[in-house]
Amino acid sequence: MHYKNGKEILPAELLVELQKYIQGELIYIPREETTRKAWGENNGTRENIRKRNNEIYKFYKEGYTVSELMSSYNLSEDSIRKIINKVNKDLKSCNRDRELAAV
């Protein structure tokens, strides 16, 4: 986010209209919803968490206990269980979509 002078980038009529509401102050103009990125997309955090969650699910399916996963990932029992349930739900949904596409 960078500071820009409204006088330099806005049409004169719009600048006059804005000055009726705010003068000499900073104002944040958000991006359009369609161009906005979701949390963690810019820096890769979202992808890293997705990989971690898939790894937790894989280890769980291989027989690791929730307690072992809690210890390995420093997460609470509730967090581990939520991750397992969410990944399992996502996989079921993905498989259902593939079955529908094959028909």
- At 16 the pLDDT is 93
Cα separation of 38 and 34, whole Å?
Answer: 10
What is this structure's pTM? 0.60
What fold characterizes domain 45-102?
Answer: Arc Repressor Mutant, subunit A (1.10.10)
Cβ–Cβ under 8 Å, residues 56 and 68: no
- At 99 the pLDDT is 66
Contacts within 8 Å (CB) and 24+ apart, 65-68: none
Cβ–Cβ under 8 Å, residues 84 and 56: yes
- Provide block-wise average pLDDT over 10 residues at a time, the chain (103 residues): 86 93 88 74 88 96 97 96 95 76 66
Structure token digits, residue 47: 């992808």
- At 32 the pLDDT is 78
- At 103 the pLDDT is 62
Domain extents in the chain: 6-35, 45-102
Neighbours of 37 (CB within 10 A): 9
